[in-house]
Protein backbone atom coordinates (compact mmCIF):
# COMPACT_ATOMS: atom_id res chain seq x y z
CA UNK A 1 0.00 0.00 0.00
CA UNK A 2 2.96 2.32 0.55
CA UNK A 3 3.79 2.18 -3.16
CA UNK A 4 0.44 3.67 -4.21
CA UNK A 5 -0.42 7.37 -4.15
CA UNK A 6 -3.40 9.25 -5.49
CA UNK A 7 -2.91 11.42 -8.55
CA UNK A 8 -4.94 14.54 -7.74
CA UNK A 9 -3.32 16.76 -10.35
CA UNK A 10 -6.30 16.99 -12.73
CA UNK A 11 -9.25 19.11 -11.50
CA UNK A 12 -12.75 17.66 -11.76
CA UNK A 13 -15.34 19.43 -13.90
CA UNK A 14 -18.69 18.72 -12.27
CA UNK A 15 -21.89 18.55 -14.29
CA UNK A 16 -23.73 20.31 -11.46
CA UNK A 17 -23.44 21.13 -7.76
CA UNK A 18 -25.64 18.14 -6.90
CA UNK A 19 -23.17 15.76 -8.55
CA UNK A 20 -20.29 17.22 -6.53
CA UNK A 21 -22.31 17.03 -3.31
CA UNK A 22 -23.22 13.42 -4.06
CA UNK A 23 -19.55 12.55 -4.55
CA UNK A 24 -18.57 14.18 -1.26
CA UNK A 25 -21.30 12.26 0.58
CA UNK A 26 -20.37 8.99 -1.16
CA UNK A 27 -16.73 9.15 -0.12
CA UNK A 28 -17.57 10.55 3.33
CA UNK A 29 -19.59 7.36 3.95
CA UNK A 30 -16.54 5.35 2.82
CA UNK A 31 -14.35 7.33 5.25
CA UNK A 32 -16.64 6.52 8.18
CA UNK A 33 -16.64 2.82 7.28
CA UNK A 34 -12.81 2.73 7.20
CA UNK A 35 -12.59 4.65 10.48
CA UNK A 36 -14.89 2.16 12.19
CA UNK A 37 -13.02 -0.82 10.74
CA UNK A 38 -9.68 0.50 11.98
CA UNK A 39 -10.96 0.96 15.53
CA UNK A 40 -12.64 -2.43 15.78
CA UNK A 41 -9.68 -4.31 14.26
CA UNK A 42 -7.27 -2.71 16.71
CA UNK A 43 -9.44 -3.48 19.73
CA UNK A 44 -10.02 -7.10 18.69
CA UNK A 45 -6.33 -7.65 17.96
CA UNK A 46 -5.45 -6.64 21.51
CA UNK A 47 -7.93 -9.14 22.95
CA UNK A 48 -7.09 -11.99 20.55
CA UNK A 49 -3.32 -11.66 21.01
CA UNK A 50 -3.57 -13.56 24.32
CA UNK A 51 -4.60 -16.80 22.57
CA UNK A 52 -3.59 -16.39 18.90
CA UNK A 53 -0.77 -13.87 18.28
CA UNK A 54 -0.64 -14.60 14.54
CA UNK A 55 -4.36 -13.99 14.05
CA UNK A 56 -4.03 -10.81 16.12
CA UNK A 57 -1.18 -9.61 13.89
CA UNK A 58 -3.29 -10.24 10.78
CA UNK A 59 -6.09 -8.18 12.33
CA UNK A 60 -3.66 -5.36 13.04
CA UNK A 61 -2.39 -5.39 9.45
CA UNK A 62 -5.99 -5.39 8.24
CA UNK A 63 -6.70 -2.41 10.50
CA UNK A 64 -3.64 -0.60 9.16
CA UNK A 65 -4.96 -0.96 5.63
CA UNK A 66 -8.29 0.49 6.78
CA UNK A 67 -6.32 3.36 8.32
CA UNK A 68 -4.48 3.88 5.03
CA UNK A 69 -7.84 4.11 3.24
CA UNK A 70 -8.99 6.64 5.83
CA UNK A 71 -5.92 8.80 5.16
CA UNK A 72 -6.38 8.56 1.38
CA UNK A 73 -10.03 9.52 1.72
CA UNK A 74 -9.20 12.50 3.93
CA UNK A 75 -7.08 13.99 1.11
CA UNK A 76 -9.49 12.85 -1.58
CA UNK A 77 -12.56 14.47 0.00
CA UNK A 78 -10.65 17.76 0.31
CA UNK A 79 -9.74 17.41 -3.39
CA UNK A 80 -13.46 17.00 -4.17
CA UNK A 81 -14.10 20.30 -2.41
CA UNK A 82 -15.58 18.86 0.78
CA UNK A 83 -14.74 18.14 4.40
CA UNK A 84 -15.20 15.14 6.69
CA UNK A 85 -18.77 15.37 8.00
CA UNK A 86 -20.74 13.81 10.84
CA UNK A 87 -22.63 10.66 9.92
CA UNK A 88 -26.28 10.89 8.89
CA UNK A 89 -28.99 9.34 11.08
CA UNK A 90 -29.13 5.99 9.24
CA UNK A 91 -25.36 5.46 9.15
CA UNK A 92 -25.00 6.74 12.70
CA UNK A 93 -27.51 4.18 13.96
CA UNK A 94 -25.60 1.35 12.23
CA UNK A 95 -22.30 2.32 13.79
CA UNK A 96 -23.70 2.95 17.25
CA UNK A 97 -25.13 -0.57 17.29
CA UNK A 98 -21.86 -1.91 15.89
CA UNK A 99 -19.85 -0.14 18.61
CA UNK A 100 -22.00 -1.69 21.35
CA UNK A 101 -21.45 -5.27 20.21
CA UNK A 102 -19.16 -7.20 22.55
CA UNK A 103 -18.91 -10.71 21.09
CA UNK A 104 -16.02 -10.89 18.66
CA UNK A 105 -17.89 -13.20 16.31
CA UNK A 106 -20.77 -10.68 16.14
CA UNK A 107 -18.33 -7.88 15.34
CA UNK A 108 -16.63 -9.89 12.61
CA UNK A 109 -19.93 -11.00 11.06
CA UNK A 110 -21.08 -7.38 10.97
CA UNK A 111 -17.78 -6.26 9.50
CA UNK A 112 -17.91 -9.04 6.90
CA UNK A 113 -21.34 -7.89 5.76
CA UNK A 114 -20.24 -4.23 5.67
CA UNK A 115 -17.19 -5.18 3.59
CA UNK A 116 -19.41 -7.15 1.21
CA UNK A 117 -21.78 -4.28 0.51
CA UNK A 118 -18.86 -1.86 0.35
CA UNK A 119 -17.13 -3.93 -2.33
CA UNK A 120 -20.45 -4.29 -4.16
CA UNK A 121 -21.16 -0.54 -4.11
CA UNK A 122 -17.66 0.43 -5.25
CA UNK A 123 -17.70 -2.15 -8.05
CA UNK A 124 -21.04 -0.85 -9.33
CA UNK A 125 -19.89 2.76 -9.03
CA UNK A 126 -16.82 2.00 -11.15
CA UNK A 127 -19.25 1.20 -13.97
CA UNK A 128 -21.71 4.04 -13.48
CA UNK A 129 -20.10 7.01 -11.69
CA UNK A 130 -18.39 9.98 -13.31
CA UNK A 131 -15.43 8.86 -15.41
CA UNK A 132 -12.47 10.85 -14.10
CA UNK A 133 -8.95 9.47 -13.50
CA UNK A 134 -8.80 10.35 -9.79
CA UNK A 135 -12.32 9.08 -9.08
CA UNK A 136 -11.61 5.82 -10.90
CA UNK A 137 -8.31 5.41 -9.04
CA UNK A 138 -9.95 5.89 -5.63
CA UNK A 139 -12.84 3.55 -6.49
CA UNK A 140 -10.41 0.96 -7.85
CA UNK A 141 -8.35 0.95 -4.65
CA UNK A 142 -11.50 0.55 -2.54
CA UNK A 143 -12.97 -2.14 -4.81
CA UNK A 144 -9.78 -4.18 -4.82
CA UNK A 145 -9.12 -3.99 -1.09
CA UNK A 146 -12.70 -4.45 0.11
CA UNK A 147 -13.03 -7.47 -2.20
CA UNK A 148 -9.93 -8.95 -0.55
CA UNK A 149 -11.32 -8.17 2.91
CA UNK A 150 -14.39 -10.37 2.30
CA UNK A 151 -12.56 -13.74 2.29
CA UNK A 152 -10.24 -12.40 4.99
CA UNK A 153 -13.17 -11.69 7.33
CA UNK A 154 -14.66 -15.13 6.60
CA UNK A 155 -11.36 -16.59 7.79
CA UNK A 156 -11.49 -14.43 10.93
CA UNK A 157 -15.05 -15.56 11.63
CA UNK A 158 -14.23 -19.25 11.20
CA UNK A 159 -11.23 -18.98 13.51
CA UNK A 160 -13.29 -17.27 16.21
CA UNK A 161 -16.12 -19.80 15.95
CA UNK A 162 -13.66 -22.66 16.45
CA UNK A 163 -13.30 -21.48 20.06
CA UNK A 164 -17.00 -21.01 20.69
CA UNK A 165 -19.58 -23.60 21.82
CA UNK A 166 -21.99 -24.94 19.16
CA UNK A 167 -24.71 -22.45 20.15
CA UNK A 168 -22.64 -19.51 18.91
CA UNK A 169 -23.83 -20.00 15.33
CA UNK A 170 -27.45 -20.05 16.47
CA UNK A 171 -26.94 -16.67 18.19
CA UNK A 172 -25.58 -15.17 14.97
CA UNK A 173 -28.59 -16.04 12.81
CA UNK A 174 -30.92 -13.24 14.03
CA UNK A 175 -28.07 -10.74 13.65
CA UNK A 176 -27.43 -11.93 10.10
CA UNK A 177 -31.08 -11.72 9.01
CA UNK A 178 -31.73 -8.35 10.68
CA UNK A 179 -28.56 -6.86 9.26
CA UNK A 180 -29.26 -8.15 5.75
CA UNK A 181 -32.68 -6.50 5.78
CA UNK A 182 -31.27 -3.28 7.25
CA UNK A 183 -28.47 -3.07 4.69
CA UNK A 184 -30.87 -3.61 1.80
CA UNK A 185 -33.10 -0.86 3.21
CA UNK A 186 -30.08 1.42 3.61
CA UNK A 187 -29.71 1.36 -0.16
CA UNK A 188 -32.88 3.48 -0.32
CA UNK A 189 -31.58 6.08 2.16
CA UNK A 190 -28.28 6.36 0.31
CA UNK A 191 -29.97 7.09 -3.03
CA UNK A 192 -31.23 10.44 -1.77
CA UNK A 193 -27.68 11.48 -0.89
CA UNK A 194 -25.38 9.97 -3.50
CA UNK A 195 -27.30 8.87 -6.60
CA UNK A 196 -26.53 12.10 -8.48
CA UNK A 197 -22.90 10.99 -8.30
CA UNK A 198 -22.89 7.19 -8.53
CA UNK A 199 -25.95 6.84 -10.83
CA UNK A 200 -26.97 3.52 -9.24
CA UNK A 201 -30.78 3.09 -9.03
CA UNK A 202 -32.23 1.82 -5.75
CA UNK A 203 -33.56 -1.43 -7.24
CA UNK A 204 -30.19 -2.27 -8.77
CA UNK A 205 -28.32 -1.55 -5.54
CA UNK A 206 -30.73 -3.43 -3.27
CA UNK A 207 -30.71 -6.44 -5.59
CA UNK A 208 -26.90 -6.39 -5.73
CA UNK A 209 -26.70 -6.27 -1.92
CA UNK A 210 -29.09 -9.24 -1.60
CA UNK A 211 -27.30 -11.18 -4.32
CA UNK A 212 -23.76 -10.73 -3.02
CA UNK A 213 -24.64 -11.25 0.64
CA UNK A 214 -26.57 -14.34 -0.43
CA UNK A 215 -23.76 -15.77 -2.57
CA UNK A 216 -21.30 -15.20 0.24
CA UNK A 217 -23.17 -17.35 2.75
CA UNK A 218 -24.25 -19.96 0.22
CA UNK A 219 -20.55 -20.57 -0.43
CA UNK A 220 -19.66 -20.36 3.28
CA UNK A 221 -22.34 -22.95 4.07
CA UNK A 222 -20.41 -24.18 7.13
CA UNK A 223 -21.51 -20.96 8.85
CA UNK A 224 -25.15 -22.03 8.64
CA UNK A 225 -26.43 -18.59 7.60
CA UNK A 226 -29.00 -19.18 4.86
CA UNK A 227 -30.46 -16.23 2.90
CA UNK A 228 -34.15 -15.60 3.53
CA UNK A 229 -36.34 -16.72 0.62
CA UNK A 230 -38.80 -13.90 1.39
CA UNK A 231 -36.12 -11.22 1.42
CA UNK A 232 -34.62 -12.50 -1.82
CA UNK A 233 -38.07 -12.50 -3.41
CA UNK A 234 -38.50 -8.78 -2.70
CA UNK A 235 -35.75 -8.08 -5.25
CA UNK A 236 -36.70 -10.84 -7.69
CA UNK A 237 -34.13 -13.44 -6.62
CA UNK A 238 -34.36 -17.10 -5.63
CA UNK A 239 -31.85 -19.18 -3.73
CA UNK A 240 -31.14 -21.11 -6.92
CA UNK A 241 -29.94 -17.84 -8.49
CA UNK A 242 -27.09 -17.77 -5.98
CA UNK A 243 -25.67 -21.17 -6.94
CA UNK A 244 -23.01 -22.03 -9.48
CA UNK A 245 -21.16 -18.71 -9.44
CA UNK A 246 -17.44 -18.07 -9.19
CA UNK A 247 -15.84 -18.98 -5.88
CA UNK A 248 -15.60 -15.91 -3.64
CA UNK A 249 -13.84 -17.28 -0.58
CA UNK A 250 -11.00 -19.48 -1.80
CA UNK A 251 -7.32 -18.58 -1.56
CA UNK A 252 -7.34 -18.12 -5.35
CA UNK A 253 -10.26 -15.67 -5.13
CA UNK A 254 -8.45 -13.70 -2.43
CA UNK A 255 -5.34 -13.51 -4.62
CA UNK A 256 -7.37 -12.19 -7.55
CA UNK A 257 -9.04 -9.60 -5.32
CA UNK A 258 -5.67 -8.45 -3.98
CA UNK A 259 -4.32 -7.85 -7.50
CA UNK A 260 -5.78 -4.61 -8.81
CA UNK A 261 -5.14 -5.37 -12.48
CA UNK A 262 -6.93 -8.74 -12.22
CA UNK A 263 -9.81 -7.65 -9.99
CA UNK A 264 -10.65 -4.60 -12.11
CA UNK A 265 -10.24 -6.49 -15.37
CA UNK A 266 -12.90 -8.92 -14.10
CA UNK A 267 -15.49 -6.17 -13.64
Q: Highest mean pLDDT range out of 5-19, 76-90, 163-177, 179-193? A: 5-19
Q: 232 falls in which pLDDT band (50, 70, 90)?
A: very high
> How confident is the model at residue 8, as a pLDDT?
96
pLDDT tens sequence across 49-98: 999 999 999 999 999 999 999 999 999 999 999 999 876 666 666 666 65
CA dist., res. 77 & res. 31, Å (int): 9
What is the predicted pLDDT for the residue at 36?
Answer: 86
pLDDT of residue 189: 87
Least Cα distance to 171 among 105, 220, 96 occurs for 105
At residue 30 the predicted structure's pLDDT band, cuts being 50, 70 and 90, is very high
pLDDT for 86 equals 79
Has this prediction a pTM greater than 0.85?
yes
pLDDT for residue 260: 53
Between 39 and 31, name the one with better pLDDT.
31
Question: What is the chain's mean pLDDT, rounded?
Answer: 87
Which range has the top average pLDDT, 94-108, 128-142, 181-195?
128-142
pLDDT at 267: 44
User: If we measure between CA atoms, which residue out of 80, 101, 68, 88 comes closest to residue 172?
Assistant: 101
CA-to-CA distance for 51 and 250, rounded, in angstroms? Answer: 25
Residue 31 has pLDDT above 80, yes or no: yes
- Per-residue model confidence as pLDDT tens digits over 180-227: 998 988 899 899 889 999 999 999 999 999 999 999 888 888 888 989
Q: Which candidate, 153, 63, 161, places its Cα nearest to that of 105?
A: 161
Q: What is the pLDDT of residue 265?
A: 45
Helical (H) or strand (E) element with 254: helix 251-258
Give the pLDDT mean for 137-149: 93
205 in Cβ contact with 121 (< 8 Å): yes
pLDDT at residue 4, as a whole number: 84
Amino acid sequence: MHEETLDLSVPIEWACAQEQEGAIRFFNAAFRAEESGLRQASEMADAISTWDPELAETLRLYGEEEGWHRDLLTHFIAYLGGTIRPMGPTTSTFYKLYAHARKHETLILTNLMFETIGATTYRLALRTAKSHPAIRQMLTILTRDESFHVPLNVHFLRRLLEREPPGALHRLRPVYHALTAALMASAYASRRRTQRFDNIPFKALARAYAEHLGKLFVQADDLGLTPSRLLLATVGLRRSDLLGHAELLSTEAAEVAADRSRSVHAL
